[in-house]
Amino acid sequence: MSLHYELRCRECGKTWGNAPRSFCEDCFSPLEVAYDYVSLKKIVRRENLAARYFNMWRYSELLPLPDDFVARSAVGGTPLVASRKLAAKWGLKNLYFKNDAVCFPSLSFKDRVVATALAAARRFNFTTVGCSSTGNLANAVAAQAAQQGFDACVFIPADLEPAKVLNTAVYGARIVRINGNYDHVNRLCAQIADRFQWGLVNVNLRPYYSEGSKTHGYEIAEQLGWALPDNVVVPMAGGSLITKIAKAFRELVMLGWVEAKPVKFFGAQATGCSPISDGVKRNLQRFEPQKPNTIARSLAIGNPADGPYAIKLIRESGGWAEDVSDPQIVDAIKLLAETEGIFTETAGGVTAGVTQKLVGQNRIKPEETTVVCITGNGLKTTDAIAAEFPATEAIAPRLDAFEAYLDAQLGTTAASARA
Amino acid sequence: MPVIIEIPTAFRRFTKGAPKVDCSAATVAEALNELTARFPDLSRHVRDDQGQIRQFLNVYLNEEDIRFLGGESCCLKEGDRVLLVPSIAGGSE
């Protein structure tokens, strides 16, 4: 076998080769992609990356890709923004924002997971791909399916933000709106994957899909000069991303590409849908599912499939989970835009807002290196903040009109006095 | 109460291929117990060593997750459907 990976049961350890399946048929626990790191260490070197483009494919050997895989678009490779103004405001010396709001092609980190999922879909000869989605994933599936010639059929809650629906429809994907929340949609998709021969990226292709998230973590380490941060703050919906960033860091240590060090993982949720942060805070053995009620609809998963793993990771790393209210989310979106020039969607507002809270709780310390993961673009959730910015009255195209406007705005006669 | 338990494909090798199993039970717990009594090999896939429904198995009564209905003690009425759906988690993550 030339491939260095296969599916393995997370709980019982049984291996399943490579196939479109997401749970162990022996014990019905989740499957993950397991790698032969001894072989990998011989064939992949950090030095070889220098000659490659800065996108997620520079880490191809660490992803579950077929031998004949050819990258069809430059996904990932997003900026790690060193914060100045917010860092100063919060009293932090080393604060960074990993900005997947500008991930190619559909402006969220979901482009990464879809990229690895569609590589698997091609390998397993699916012609139709799809997903259950709170919006961003549907955008990413629709965009990359269009580019790569798959038929796309995506399933979404009926009440999604119009911009997210439009950003899927424009690529020609079939959109099935479901009367229900994401958890209803997800359950239906599990049943559809059971019945139809489709490649549902976050259902039967999920082990391959979720590996794409690791590239967010690889990039963070590389952009920090091949070093791990002290803290990572990650938004949580299903709870997958935070655990995959941890896996990425572990792999880099195993390969000897970064020095081992303890990293604290902090999870961020909206208070209106916070089963994972609630589980961490109350130290629950099992999280309690919730009915989502928040403007952060991309994080509105009340029954997070990876919640148990996320809770375990957060606790074992010495991190914490927090949640913020809808008004705090809106404030944090504005704060990030005004200070760092980053316009994020509601999920990013959650992450930024939670970071502020964690700093206030002294869980994030001034001298530590902290990376905040921004995973989606503000242009997709303008509805959430539109009320904050009512349209101003138009003025005549004349200088005196502008002077009068300025006087009215500033409450002075400074502008007209200049005449 | 006559109710129907819907069996996912992955479980059907324990139910002799049956996609649905009729049973008579007053609560979801009774329905699951009747199911596993009839198909004992399924038992360890439905409940863990502590007797709790397994963490990665979701159980629905009609459209609703039973955890929103008070858990497996929730009552059944004639014609109800009980769905077993393996949770789709990402692994090692």
DSSP letter string, A26-69: TT-PBEEEEE-HHHHHHH--GGGGGGS-SSGGGGGGGS---TT-
Same domain, residue pair A246 and A321: yes
A166 within domain boundaries: yes
CA distance linking residue A168 with residue A145, whole number of Å: 11
Tell me the chain A residues in contact with residue B56 when contact means C-beta distances shorter than 8 Å. 23, 28-30
CB contact under 8 A, B86 and A23: yes
The parent domain of residue A334 ranges over 80-106+213-380
pLDDT for residue B89: 63
What pLDDT was estimated at residue A332?
98
| pLDDT tens for each residue of B71-88 | 999 999 999 999 998 877
Please indicate whether, in this complex, the C-beta atoms of B93 and A194 are within 8 angstroms of each other: no
- Beta-carbon contacts of A149 under 8 Å, excluding residues fewer than 6 positions away, are none
Among B63, B68, B88, beta carbon nearest to A22: B88
For residue A298, which of A121, A86, A152, A134 has the smallest C-alpha distance? A134
Interface contact B91-A202, CB threshold 8 A: no
pLDDT tens by residue, chain A, 419 residues: 357 999 999 989 999 999 999 988 888 888 999 999 999 999 899 999 999 999 999 999 999 999 999 998 899 999 999 999 999 999 999 999 999 999 999 999 999 999 999 999 999 999 999 999 989 999 999 999 999 999 999 999 998 888 889 999 999 999 999 999 888 898 899 889 888 989 999 999 999 999 999 999 999 999 999 999 999 999 999 999 999 999 999 999 999 999 999 999 999 999 999 999 999 999 998 899 999 999 999 999 999 989 999 999 999 999 999 999 999 999 999 999 999 999 999 999 999 999 999 999 999 999 999 999 999 999 999 999 999 999 988 999 999 999 999 998 888 776 656 65
Tell me the pTM.
0.94
Q: Is residue A388 part of a domain?
A: no
Same domain, A302 and A336: yes
CA A194 – CA B84 distance, rounded (Å) = 12
Using a CB-CB distance cutoff of 8 angstroms, which residues of chain B are in contact with residue A28?
10, 45, 54, 56-57, 86
The count of structural domains within chain A is: 3
Q: Which among A27, A30, A187 has CB closest to B91?
A: A30
Q: Does the beta-carbon distance from B10 to A191 stay under 8 Å?
A: no
Architecture of the domain defined by B2-86? Roll (3.10)
Task: Kindly give, in sequence order, each residue whose CB lies less than 8 Å from that of residue A237, ignoring residues fewer than 6 positions away.
Answer: A134, A298, A299, A300, A301, A304, A347
Residue A277 maps to a domain: yes
Instruction: Write down the domain spans for chain B.
Output: 2-86
* Type of residue found at A165: V
How far is residue A67's CA from residue A110's CA, in Å, rounded to a whole number? 23
**Same domain for A115 and A87?**
no
Domain co-membership, A230 together with A256 = yes
User: Tens of pLDDT along B17-36?
Assistant: 999 999 999 999 999 999 99
Give domain status of residue A385, yes or no: no
Q: Is residue A387 part of a domain?
A: no
Given a contact cutoff of 8 angstroms between Cβ atoms, the answer to whether B20 and B48 are in contact is: no
Residue B91 is predicted with a pLDDT of: 37
Cβ of B93 within 8 Å of Cβ of A246? The answer is: yes
Is there a single domain that holds both residue A321 and residue A415?
A: no
The answer to whether position A314 is within a domain reads yes
Q: Can you tell me the ipTM of this complex?
A: 0.85
Residue A222 and residue A258 in one domain: yes
pLDDT score, position A295: 95
Q: Are residues A69 and A136 in the same domain?
A: yes
Whole-angstrom CA distances from A196 to A29, A149, A208 are 22, 19, 19
For an interface test with B, which of A5, A181, A187, A206 has the most B Cβ atoms less than 10 Å from its Cβ?
Answer: A187
Closest chain A CA to residue B53: A286
Of A164, A191, A210, which closes a domain? A210
Q: How far does Cα A1 stand from its chain's mean position?
A: 33
Q: Residues A236, A276: one domain?
A: yes
In B, minimum Cα distance to A313 occurs at: B93
pLDDT on residue A191: 87
pLDDT, tens only, A356-391: 999 999 999 999 999 999 999 999 999 999 999 999
Taking CB atoms and an 8 Å cutoff, what residues of chain B touch A184? 63
Residue A287 lies in a domain: yes
Q: What is the mean pLDDT of residues B62-68?
A: 92
What residue of B is the nearest CA neighbor of A209? B90
Whether A134 and A18 share a structural domain: yes
Residue A1 has what pLDDT?
39
Residues A91 and A119 in one domain: no
Pair A247, A185 in one domain: no
Based on the fold, state whether residues A280 and A366 are members of the same structural domain. yes
Q: Chain B residues with CB inside 8 Å of A210's CB? A: 90-91, 93
Among A158, A188, A210, identify where a domain stops: A210
CATH number, domain containing residue A343: 3.40.50.1100
> Among A210, A233, A264, where does a domain finish?
A210
